[in-house]
């Protein structure tokens, strides 16, 4: 197999417990074999026999190289938008007021059901291109705006198709337990029954990589989510949970009992919840875009997560209601300014720890044997990626070994 060599670069490998911050290697070399990194390290230490086999040589022009970015929590596929509700909120209504009055998620459900797969695909592709344009090479997309079998299927199929037509790996998550659709108003348990019917069908069609739920007083109780998780577990599917966003519902402990990949949001996470997550190896996914957009004031307990060694990931939560955001770089900045993450924690949150939040052991760091997904940036220091508000210093993306 012909090998490709990348030199004239600095590499923030993001390898854990490396001697340098960011696992930084000055004057690095990366060797790509097919879609895999065959070698990465100091150029001076590149084995000569490997160098001799490199038939393609790329000059990175002094760029900083990071692993491809991973957006591990998005609701990218939906119809319509909620600019009107944004306006309502600015005229005094709260997010919960709007949700209780049949707006919020329900209005997006209506627009998503009304949209054809082609329309959903076109709207979602625009959002996806913005993420990909900032160096995203893997992203998760949840269903949860269809809330009926045919519409959940349509959204998951659109998500899968986006991965086929763009240079990005898409992981799909079934979020049937996102909201109670209008036809089930006042019959939440009956709707949970229908979620339990949808899941095995969609799974059998190969549309589901993981299962998520919204555990919150405006959505589903821990007991209702538990029924969904029990079925996911029986089907061999990993789970994750929107937990403790607006209140402490004990969702983190529940998710940890099911060895959840991640718990997401977590502004109201308790000490017990953090302990349970640490023991289960569950990743904390922080969503500063939603915190910002909803003007929340309760900060996720970062010190507690650090104290218990819970890995922290960061994501856009890209969705029309609480985080209409398609910039993962902006999330780096917001995680630092709003949540006081260090720039290194923030970058780990969109690489190594985001991979863990998706259960993907083959990416998120630049190391031998990992996927050759990486980004060349026109910056000197990795911290600039978190520092510069609204900048996009991406030069090139390499996806599965090929320049995009
Ligand atoms: N939590 C959120 O922040 C989003 N979904 C969820 O479970 C909000 C989704 C929306 O308002 O459309
Ligand atoms: Fe979300």
Tell me: pLDDT of 102 over 80.
no
Tell me: pLDDT of 100 over 80.
no
Tell me: pLDDT of 124 over 80.
yes
* Packing angle of the helix pair 105-114, 149-165 (nearest 10 deg): 80
Residues in the chain: 404
pLDDT digits (tens, 9 = 90+) for 379-389: 999 999 999 99
Give the pLDDT band of residue 98 (cuts 50, 70, 90). Answer: confident
pLDDT digits (tens, 9 = 90+) for 352-396: 999 999 999 999 999 999 999 999 999 999 999 999 999 999 999
pLDDT digits (tens, 9 = 90+) for 183-233: 999 999 999 999 999 999 999 999 999 999 999 988 999 999 999 999 999
Residue 60 CA to ligand 1 centre (angstroms): 40
Q: What are phi and psi of 29, to 5 degrees?
A: -135, 140
394 lines ligand 1 (CB under 6 A): no
Q: Does pTM surpass 0.85?
A: yes
Instruction: State which ligand 1 atom lies nearest to the alpha carbon of 78.
Output: 12
Q: Whose CA is nearest to atom 6 of ligand 1?
A: 214
Residue whose CB lies within 8 A of the most ligand 1 atoms, among 141, 319, 324, 325, for a mutation test: 319
320 lines ligand 1 (CB under 6 A): yes
**Whole-angstrom Cα Rg for the chain:** 21
Q: Whose CA is nearest to atom 3 of ligand 1?
A: 322
Give the pLDDT band of residue 106 (cuts 50, 70, 90). Answer: confident
State the Cα–Cα distance between residues 134 and 336, nearest whole angstrom.
18
Q: Whose CA is nearest to atom 2 of ligand 1?
A: 322
The overall average pLDDT reported for the chain is 96
pLDDT digits (tens, 9 = 90+) for 312-344: 999 999 999 999 999 999 999 999 999 999 999
State the Cα–Cα distance between residues 36 and 380, nearest whole angstrom.
26
Residue whose CB lies within 8 A of the most ligand 1 atoms, among 105, 109, 141, for a mutation test: 105
Give the C-alpha distances (Å, rounded to integers) separating 400 from 25, 70, 171, 369. Answer: 21, 14, 16, 12
Q: Write the DSSP string, 49-118.
A: HHHHTEEEEEEEEEEEEEEPEEE-------SS--HHHHHHHHTT--HHHHHHTT-THHHHHHHHHHS-HH
CA-based nearest residue to 384, from 340, 338, 346, 339: 346
Question: 263 has which bridge partners?
Answer: 241, 284
């Amino acid at each position: 197999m012909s090998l490709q060599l990348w030199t004239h670069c600095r590499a923030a490998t993001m390898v854990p417990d490396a001697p340098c911050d960011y696992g930084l290697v000055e004057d690095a070399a990366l060797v790509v074999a097919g879609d895999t990194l065959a070698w990465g390290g100091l150029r001076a230490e590149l084995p000569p026999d490997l160098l001799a086999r490199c038939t393609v040589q790329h000059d990175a022009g002094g760029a900083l190289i990071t692993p491809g970015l991973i957006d591990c929590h998005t609701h990218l596929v939906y119809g319509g938008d909620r600019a009107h509700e944004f306006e309502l909120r600015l005229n005094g209504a709260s997010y919960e007021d709007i949700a209780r009055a049949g707006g919020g998620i329900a209005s997006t459900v209506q627009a998503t059901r009304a949209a054809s797969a082609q329309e959903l695909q076109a709207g979602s592709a625009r959002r996806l291109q913005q993420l990909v344009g900032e160096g995203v090479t893997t992203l998760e997309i949840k269903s949860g705006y269809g809330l009926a079998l045919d519409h959940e299927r349509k959204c998951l199929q659109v998500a899968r198709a986006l991965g086929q037509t763009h240079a990005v790996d898409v992981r799909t998550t079934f979020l049937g337990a996102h909201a109670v659709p209008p036809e089930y108003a006042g019959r939440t348990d009956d709707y949970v029954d229908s979620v339990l019917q949808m899941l095995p069908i969609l799974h059998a069609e190969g549309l589901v990589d993981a299962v998520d739920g919204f555990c919150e007083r405006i959505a589903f109780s821990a007991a209702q989510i538990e029924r969904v998780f029990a079925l996911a577990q029986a089907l061999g599917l990993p789970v994750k949970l929107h937990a403790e966003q607006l209140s402490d519902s004990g969702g983190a402990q529940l998710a940890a009992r099911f060895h959840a990949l991640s718990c997401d949001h977590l502004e109201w996470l308790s000490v017990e919840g953090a302990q349970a997550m640490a023991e289960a190896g569950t990743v904390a996914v922080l969503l500063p875009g939603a915190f910002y957009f909803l003007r929340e004031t309760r900060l996720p307990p970062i010190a507690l997560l650090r104290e218990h060694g819970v890995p922290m990931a960061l994501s856009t939560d890209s969705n029309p209601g609480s985080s209409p955001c398609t910039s993962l770089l902006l999330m780096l900045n917001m995680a630092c300014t709003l949540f006081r993450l260090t720039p290194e924690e923030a970058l780990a949150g969109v690489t190594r720890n985001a991979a863990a939040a998706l259960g993907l052991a083959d990416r998120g760091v630049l190391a031998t044997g990992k996927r050759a997904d990486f980004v060349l940036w026109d910056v000197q220091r990795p911290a600039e990626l978190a520092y510069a508000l609204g900048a996009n210093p991406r030069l090139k993306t390499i996806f599965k070994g090929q320049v995009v």
